[in-house]
Amino acid sequence: MKSSKSQIHAKFHKIPMIRFEDQQLTSFSGLLVFQMLFKRLDLKRKLKGCFDHLKVSPIFGYHLVVMLLIVHLLLGFRRLREIDYYRDDPLVLRIMGLRKIPDVSTISRNLAKMETQSAENYRGLSRSLVIAGLQREGFSRLTFDFDGSVLSTKGHAEGTAVGFNKAKKALEVTILCSAPWHRPASFSTFSIAPAMSTTRMGRPNSC
């Protein structure tokens, strides 16, 4: 059974007042902070702009599906089926501006209709938000933590996307972290020695 737009969409603008009282709270009350952040970033409108080129707009717009996935990850969930844990939560509905959460099949269909241009638009939006945030904060120093992953090819290296291929000549990139530093742990102190990693396509850099 299909629902009309008036049965699904709702507008919420006023930020609820938080009071510290002796009462039970929803497990997702922390979303109030993100409601304010999303409103300040005008996130819903910007997400909608990523899909303006698509001619057909379903009742649950593509931007709402993406925003729901963002909230989904913020709540600590990974599988789409776990939407059932907060489907009727009033704060989730409020931050989404909806009266009901789409089911998994609806989300899957909308994701299947998103093409390369939609993904590129979303990446561009994400990149612009990060850069704008860094410029706004005006940090004097930025620290990048590069974590590497070792993937086993189990002896079948043909066609692998990981590793250096000697047959393909390219300039290598060397990332050198020269300053050792100490990080306190639960029971001891670790000394992180200078580290160096090499990747392809670029020039030597230090961090």
Give 124-179 as a DSSP string. HHHHHHHHHHHHHHT-S-------------TT--TT-SSS--TTS---EEEEEE--
- Give a yes or no: residue 106 inside a domain: yes
- Give a yes or no: residue 164 inside a domain: no
Which positions of the chain have pLDDT values less than 50? Answer: 24, 160, 162, 164, 169-207
- Give a yes or no: residue 142 inside a domain: no
| Torsions phi, psi for 43 (to 5 deg) | -65, -40
93 and 192 in a common domain: no
35 and 105 in a common domain: yes
97 and 39 in a common domain: yes
Which residue range forms the structural domain that includes residue 79? 5-137
177 and 114 in a common domain: no
Compute the distance between CA of residue 109 and CA of residue 125 in angstroms, rounded to an integer: 23
121 and 76 in a common domain: yes
- Give a yes or no: residue 38 inside a domain: yes
Q: Which among 80, 113, 137 is the end of a domain?
A: 137
Alpha helices in 50-151 (DSSP H): 62-74, 90-96, 104-113, 116-137
pLDDT of residue 2: 79
- Give a yes or no: residue 154 inside a domain: no
181 and 122 in a common domain: no
What are the structure tokens assigned to 155, written together? 């002896």
Which pLDDT tens digit goes with each residue over 118-147? 999 999 999 999 999 888 888 888 787 776
Look up the pTM and report it: 0.61
190 and 122 in a common domain: no
pLDDT of residue 198: 41
31 and 129 in a common domain: yes
Q: Which among 137, 152, 181 is the end of a domain?
A: 137
What are the structure tokens assigned to 105, written together? 């099949």
pLDDT of residue 199: 42
- Give a yes or no: residue 145 inside a domain: no
Query: In the block, which residue shows the tokens 């059932």?
Result: 84
Q: Which among 137, 156, 187 is the end of a domain?
A: 137
21 and 122 in a common domain: yes
81 and 26 in a common domain: yes
181 and 96 in a common domain: no
44 and 130 in a common domain: yes
The domain total for the chain is 2
